[in-house]
A and B are shown apart, each in its own frame.
Chain A
């Protein structure tokens, strides 16, 4: 199966928390190598949908990655199917350095029995060097130097922590990447770097599901979007279509329709891919 065929599809996905419907009958599909946006007000169920896709919360309905059903699998099996995800608030653990985090991200991509380190230290060193190179390359893409690898996560500024978390997810070489509000905490320079990086990645046949409140960013990068309100889908379409529909603007923005249009800097350009 070539990586180019991998997409993501949700059919009638629902999540309940003790009788409360956080997500109800959500359908959408993301074509391979496309960037799909998921927008909606706070508490509309965006993160919960990502959690349902990863198997962090139980859900009803069908979820497919690359045409194969993954619902019913544990998180472990789903990640092995090529899923990767980042966190809305990555935990700034003092116990871990950037390098540790990135190596953790690599976990399911490369098996390494623990006794390999004891019995064949050279092979283990080689594996470590490879993973360092891979980490440095990924960080370089968002302009973070290898010097940062030794830093404890707790010492990172919020935006850099988010960036490192994205690199962590990419270390696993996912084919479908779920991003939860990646730009929150980032400054404008970082957002531009992220934009460029995501463009490259989707050009390289990575399917991206993007949850984001930064509408300008969404408008620029998404090929298609789904709008949520209180756990239900209230609209689908290209960014241009979505931002022009009254009910969507109403659901998402309340009355402040103007800001969407003001924040539209460029015409929509079709994505490479």
Chain B
């Protein structure tokens, strides 16, 4: 008897199971083809597979070599800030699109990482250790929101995250003896790692690029893994996830923790970039900027978050600091983007394909009832 229900026996199942249905098969394939279902014939290798590590490494090496020669001065500083924000935004996109939480606390989580690094790093604690602890601190604080958030309705989460953000700001401003309060606190020693002097914007760029790629790689790995899929299932349809035996709460907390690691690292890198931290580095405006980066990137891959982080960081740094006209352009630009790319930057290729498909169909003189349909 052919078997497909249990894994151990399904090996020998395929052929005998299909045999008595052979005629049906042919008929159905013909029907499916007519309905446009069998558009992609055969299996395309292993999808969901990551871009090979080698390509990524080459990309990092190129960036690290070429960019510091091309970009300099304030632009390089902004580029470095964009990378920091990209890391935090990738973390937030995990919290948002995999965890299903809308958080306005990501900058506060960065603050935790930042202060951990700036307070610990010194003659006794080395930079790598301090940075790791910054990531860990970010994970713990962020997971805390997840633990509370997994118990409440999703729209209450934004309030919880707001409360956390405000609490952290209050602690930073009031624990003057530790954090320096509103005056801030300075880095105790110059940081260097892998032979790079992080006090130099060029070397800082090299290191943050490597770090950002590690974060992208980890985020993409999470997304491609079964855990990432379980998280996606959970945001799409809670009952589907339950039916698949997903321990939903546990996974959502994990998502907030991982998102917090990246924010903690980013916060630590802010401290290194500026050599100084104050509560104003991590205000609500920063959290909202990060949220915008995630929303504008769409729920796509980490790569598109980086693109939107670059665009928004330069826009916000360039336009906001200049004039009130700049602010207006910034705001209008965002509105235009949201209207014309409702799925964010990540959705643009698909929108373009749909538009091209419709165009092609019109050219061919056929009704485009399934061309750009969704």
Measured CB to CB, the residues of A under 8 A from B are: 3, 54-56, 75-76, 79-80, 84-85, 87, 90-91, 93-96, 99-101, 103-118, 121, 124-125, 128-129, 132, 134, 136-138, 140-141, 143-152, 154-157, 160, 168-170, 172-175, 177, 189, 192-193, 196-197, 200-201, 203-206, 272
- The answer to whether residues A204 and B242 also contact, given A150-B44, A189-B24 and a CB cut-off of 8 A, is no
- B340: which A residues are within 8 A, CB to CB? none
Q: Which residues from B are CB-within-8-Å of A157?
A: 35, 37
Contacting residues of chain B (212-241) with chain A, CB-CB under 8 angstroms? 217-218, 221-222, 224-230, 232-233, 235-237, 239-241
Q: How far apart sit A137 and B39, CA to CA, in the bound complex (Å)?
A: 19
CB distance from B30 to the nearest CB of A (A): 11
Q: Could you mark each residue 42-83 of chain B with 1 if its beta carbon is under 8 Å from any beta carbon of chain A, else 0? A: 111011111001000000000000000000000000000000
**Cβ of B247 < 8 Å from any Cβ of A?**
yes
Contact of B44 with A143 in the complex, beta carbons under 8 Å: no
- List residues of B (223-274) whose CB comes within 8 Å of A's CBs: 224-230, 232-233, 235-237, 239-248
B123: chain A residues at CB < 8 Å are: none
Whether the Cβ atoms of B247 and A76 lie closer than 8 Å is: yes
| Known contacts A104-B230, A140-B14, A134 near B7 by CB under 8 Å | yes
In the assembly, what is the distance between CA of A149 and CA of B226, in Å? 17
Identify the closest chain B residue to A105 (Cβ).
Answer: B244
Interface of chain A, main secondary structure: helix
B29 contact from A110, A141, A145, Cβ within 8 A = A145
User: With the chains together, A75 CA to B238 CA distance in Å?
Assistant: 11
Q: Do A93 and B237 have beta carbons less than 8 Å apart?
A: yes
Query: Is B217's CB under 8 angstroms from A108's CB?
Result: no
Residue of B1, B5, B40, B50 touching A173 (CB-CB under 8 A): B5
Report B-chain residues with C-beta under 8 Å of the C-beta of A138.
Answer: 4
A121-B50, A206-B6 given. 19 additional CB < 8 A pairs?
A3-B6, A80-B245, A90-B240, A95-B235, A104-B229, A104-B241, A108-B244, A121-B49, A134-B10, A140-B14, A147-B40, A147-B42, A150-B44, A155-B374, A157-B35, A172-B244, A174-B5, A200-B1, A200-B17
User: Are B230's CB and A107's CB within 8 A?
Assistant: yes
Q: Once the chains bind, are B46 and A107 in contact (CB under 8 Å)? A: no
Given A104-B244, A114-B225, A137 and B4 contact (CB-CB distance below 8 Å): yes
Q: Which of B6, B32, B226, B248 has the most CB of A within 10 A?
A: B226
A-B contact list, 12 entries, CB within 8 Å: A80-B245, A93-B237, A100-B232, A104-B229, A104-B244, A107-B226, A109-B7, A146-B42, A149-B43, A175-B5, A197-B4, A204-B1
